[in-house]
Structure 1
């Protein structure tokens, strides 16, 4: 069975170019939000900043109205892992906030996330953020044309496990992305390499490790969106959208295309 038979969308170079434009809007919006994260700001205020920047950049928020979601970003604080609804919550010194953002340009999506410390956080939380972001990059760096989706999964898990005792969410995964925000195939953050669909040109994937200081078990709050750790432990979430070219990986939501991080890991950069 071919990729298209499995519902996997293969993009043309022109469509990937539109995804890069969307990805740049996402990357720029996240950097803007990073600069605004401080004690005293509400997650609703961050959401307003994001929506304004996305729309003023000629794009449309991916999240707003998605299955009824009421925000342009997800803002998940402390033990909230993903899908936090922006609202009246005031960020305080010592919090961490995971911000997930998506944008659409000409019908094509970009999707990325960062976790940001508010003021001074415990050393173990800083370490959690480092490990999670590095695991994302290790996953992207493991992708090769002709390889398999779980090459990414294995690289993510291997790095997290090598760094200490952390929980890796299993019920939530990365995903294919393109003319819709969530598409096949799923990209788990754990598992054996060499499995799943083949990695080919025109495939775009969002890699997004979700890692906790405690266990992997989570629950969804009564708002039907916010996912929290069952043990109350802090969580971190990082995400980028990438594709593969003949030259290597090209990270569509990174402002530099991922060149600095991929080069530091000793793998080819496939951007242009």
Structure 2
């Protein structure tokens, strides 16, 4: 079915929108059904199958349901070497002073994004100020979690620290109980594309891992993720280095085009063309998203060539770009936990993410690196932008130059 252009007429245009929404891909933090099928899934907010629990019940399935889940996990046909470990009890946020999202108790978001994909919220100056705070907090927590990534450390230990650091900053860890997600961050190792659940599996030298952090501060979300090599640069094999470098460079290339008047669909073309030329693939089942007081809002940011009517960038728009790039087949296999998505062939995947703000002068990373952030080898060796990237505005470029000059590996 062609979806390459707008059609005149209000009624016809509305029908086109409905069709586009129905066939649209999942937002980046939405569970998909356990299947080896390559069919795209519907966004969860359009379903009536959201997993809900009674107030205060934050545990994993018990009794017969728990036994069934354990059997599914033990007999599931996994694609690669990563296996689910034991999860600790779900953490909670009891501090009444911390502002919590509307889903924190029952897992169901009450605020929904606009149905029309090109209707995108323009943030006020006050809202942007709050998002800057949320973005800064998310970056601080990401850097702290990243420094923990070493051989022998478990992802559950990282999650515990992430949870603690969020609370210490007056923030709620946005993933916690979002549609029932059991942890405060996502840790996706090797072939895990996204939504990896922290557990007791020790990290191994040479693993690559994506740490995905989102913080809810004073009613607004800041969302970012970054790759790390367990054991550092010297522990990465050549193929891993190429995957990480390509993922980073395509991400920077896509962010560099962002400015008022630019079509959102252009982001996907930049990413797919860049990675395809280097022999990699881009995942189509998950996407970036608008963000603000709502975790996942319009627009959908597709990381591949498309003609979706997702509108144009305007000063005051805030959204994420978070391409998931694979060594092999870019199709997800979802585990019985209904969250963890791996590649179907067991080959590795990588991802980077920023929360971005469009301004009159270009684009700015609200989750950009800060004075204490490390310089990674893919930043040092980038063919697109050597050093730290904070945006395309004059102020962002100047701050990035200063940080890059003083950053340590």
TM-score, with length taken from structure 2: 0.62
**TM-aligned CA distance change 1:10 to 1:34, over 3 Å:** same
Give 1:118's aligned residue: 230
Deviation at 1:201, TM superposition (A): 1.5
Q: Which of 244, 259, 269 is matched with 1:154 structurally?
A: 269
Alpha-carbon separation, structure 1, partners of 2:133 and 2:216: 9
Give 1:268's aligned residue: 393
In the alignment, does 2:126 pair up with 1:14? yes
Deviation at 1:5, TM superposition (A): 7.5
Alpha-carbon separation, structure 1, partners of 2:172 and 2:187: 18
Give 2:181's aligned residue: 69
Alpha-carbon separation, structure 2, partners of 1:260 and 1:247: 19
Deviation at 1:217, TM superposition (A): 1.4
Residue by residue over 1:10-37, the C-alpha shift from the partner in whole angstroms, topping out at 9 and shown as x without a partner, is 2111101111111111111111112110
Query: How does 1:17-96 map onto structure 2 within 5 Å?
Result: 17-96=129-208
Gaps of 5+ in 1: none
Secondary structure of 1:132's partner?
A: helix
Deviation at 1:158, TM superposition (A): 2.4
Give 1:232's aligned residue: 346
In the alignment, does 2:313 pair up with 1:188? no
In the alignment, does 2:256 pair up with 1:128? no
In the alignment, does 2:324 pair up with 1:210? yes
**TM-aligned CA distance change 1:66 to 1:270, over 3 Å:** farther
Give 2:337's aligned residue: 223
In the alignment, does 2:252 pair up with 1:137? yes
**TM-aligned CA distance change 1:112 to 1:269, over 3 Å:** farther
Residue by residue over 1:143-173, the C-alpha shift from the partner in whole angstroms, topping out at 9 and shown as x without a partner, is 11011101222222222223x1112100111
Alpha-carbon separation, structure 1, partners of 2:153 and 2:199: 11
Secondary structure of 1:173's partner?
A: strand
Gaps of 5+ in 2: 1-9, 11-112, 372-384, 400-409
CA RMSD after TM alignment? 2.3
Runs of at least 4 residues of structure 1 off by over 6 A? none
**TM-aligned CA distance change 1:166 to 1:104, over 3 Å:** same
Give yes or no for contact 1:38–1:118 (8 Å, CA) kept in 2. yes
Secondary structure of 1:153's partner?
A: helix
- Which sits farther off after the overlay, 50-59 or 227-236? 50-59
TM-score, with length taken from structure 1: 0.91
Number of residue-to-residue matches in the alignment: 267
Alpha-carbon separation, structure 2, partners of 1:235 and 1:4: 31
**TM-aligned CA distance change 1:218 to 1:4, over 3 Å:** closer
Give yes or no for contact 1:250–1:269 (8 Å, CA) kept in 2. no
By percentage of residues, which structure has more strand? 1
Give 2:7's aligned residue: none
Residue by residue over 1:215-272, the C-alpha shift from the partner in whole angstroms, topping out at 9 and shown as x without a partner, is 1111110000000000000110111010111122110011359994267xxx434659
Residue by residue over 1:47-92, the C-alpha shift from the partner in whole angstroms, topping out at 9 and shown as x without a partner, is 0111111111121111011011111110111111100111111101
Alpha-carbon separation, structure 1, partners of 2:314 and 2:114: 12
Alpha-carbon separation, structure 1, partners of 2:306 and 2:332: 23
Give 1:247's aligned residue: 361
Deviation at 1:193, TM superposition (A): 7.8
Give yes or no for contact 2:185–2:212 (8 Å, CA) kept in 1. yes
Structure with higher Rg: it is: 2
